[in-house]
Amino acid sequence: MSEDTTILQTIIIGSGPAGFTAAIYAARAEMNPILISGMELGGQLTTTTEVENFPGYPEGITGPEMMGQLQKQAEKFGTTVIIDKVTEVIFGNKSGDIHTVKTSSGKEYKTKTVIVSTGASAKYLGKDFEEKYRGGGVSACATCDGFFYRGRNVVVVGGGDTAVEEAVYLAKICKTVYMVVRKDYLRASKIMQEKVDATPNIVLMYNHEVVDLKGENGLVSQAVVVNNQTSEEKTLEVDGIFVAIGHSPNTDIFKGKLEMDETGYLIVRPFSTETNIPGVFAAGDVADKRYRQAITAAGSGCMAALDAEKYLAHNKYP
């Protein structure tokens, strides 16, 4: 364990839009932030295709491109970006206490404030068949793995915006995309639904659920789906299944330390980013189960940096 005795003004954990926006503001406030990226530099946006709804990009921008620009902007003002994973944070309890952040590379940092922006990760169905074929046809990221299914048939599970986005992306590569939706409607926004309607090789299967996967040597070749109204079973000849059923927050390392709701989302004071621990702020999807947009994450990242700046100004350190 290598310990740096410097006491930092702030450490930002996570490198999505919330983390980088917090970094831009903290750096411009001369807080010399260190941003610890996590293993997926750029967060969830690096696995999306086109971002069409972030204000200021009328032509759209790809997720990775946007994250690259945010990083560049954060670094330009003096943020130090460290590619490492935080494994533990030992929080102080009262105002003015110092917090200790430990990482998987064995580094230990002392800091007056912490901004938690660790985001959320894709959920899986939690079935044995999914585990059996993980890496052999089961994925949660079309832009990462879609390439392997060129000209093949695939299933997308889910009926939200993510599922539609995945299905539309895959439809450009694959022969047929079966969208398996457990309800009789899509939860996705209207504009996304229109994209499905305009894509002839997406086959919508409402009231259906995937109940099994079949294949050989760990590679999927069939998905068994059942109609949850009639119990009728069908076997789809597919080589891949993309699970797009939402996300869960990355808060495991904060369990028992930071206040969270029953699904693991961090709880912050209303209209603020303050957690239950003084000097610790939360921004982005990690504390937002409702909106979960790049723009709202960026907005709350800004708030967290301003909250941290104010906190530093109000606390006297030796």
* Interface contacts to ligand NDP, rule CB under 6 A: 53, 125, 157-163, 165, 182-183, 187, 189, 245-247, 292
Whether 141 is catalytic is yes
Closest separation between CB of residue 123 and ligand NDP, Å?
Answer: 7
Q: Could you confirm whether 174 is annotated as catalytic?
A: no
Q: Which listed residue (145, 161, 285, 288) is catalytic?
A: 145
Q: How far is the CB of 280 from ligand NDP (least distance, A)?
A: 25
Provide the minimum distance between the beta carbon of 210 and ligand NDP in the complex, in angstroms, as a whole number.
8
Q: Which is nearer to ligand NDP, 160 or 264 (CB)?
A: 160
User: Which CB sits closer to ligand NDP, 35 or 140?
Assistant: 140
Residue whose CB is less far from ligand NDP, 73 or 193? 193
Query: Which residues have C-beta within 8 Å of that of residue 53, sequence separation ≥ 6?
Result: 293, 294, 295
In whole angstroms, how close is the CB of 142 to ligand NDP at the nearest point? 12
Considering the candidates 4, 144, 184, 261, report the single residue annotated as catalytic: 144
Q: Which residue number, 204 or 267, has a Cβ lying nearer to ligand NDP? A: 204
145 among known catalytic residues: yes
CB-nearer residue toward ligand NDP: 35 or 45: 45
Task: List the catalytic residue out of 84, 97, 128, 141.
Answer: 141
Q: Tell me how far, at minimum, the Cβ of 158 lies from ligand NDP, in Å.
A: 3
Q: Which residue is nearest to ligand NDP (CB)?
A: 160
Residue by residue, DSSP assigns the chain as -EEEEEEEEEEEE--SHHHHHHHHHHHHTT---EEE--SSTTGGGGG-SEE--STT-TT-EEHHHHHHHHHHHHHHTTPEEE---EEEEE---STT--EEEEETTSEEEEEEEEEE---EEE-----HHHHHTBTTTEES-HHHHGGGGTTSEEEEE--SHHHHHHHHHHHTTSSEEEEE-SSSS--S-HHHHHHHHT-TTEEEETTEEEEEEEEETTEEEEEEEEETTT--EEEEE-SEEEE-S-EEE--GGGTTTS-B-TTSPBP--TTS-B-SSTTEEE-GGGG-SS---HHHHHHHHHHHHHHHHHHHHHS---
Active site residues: 141, 144-145
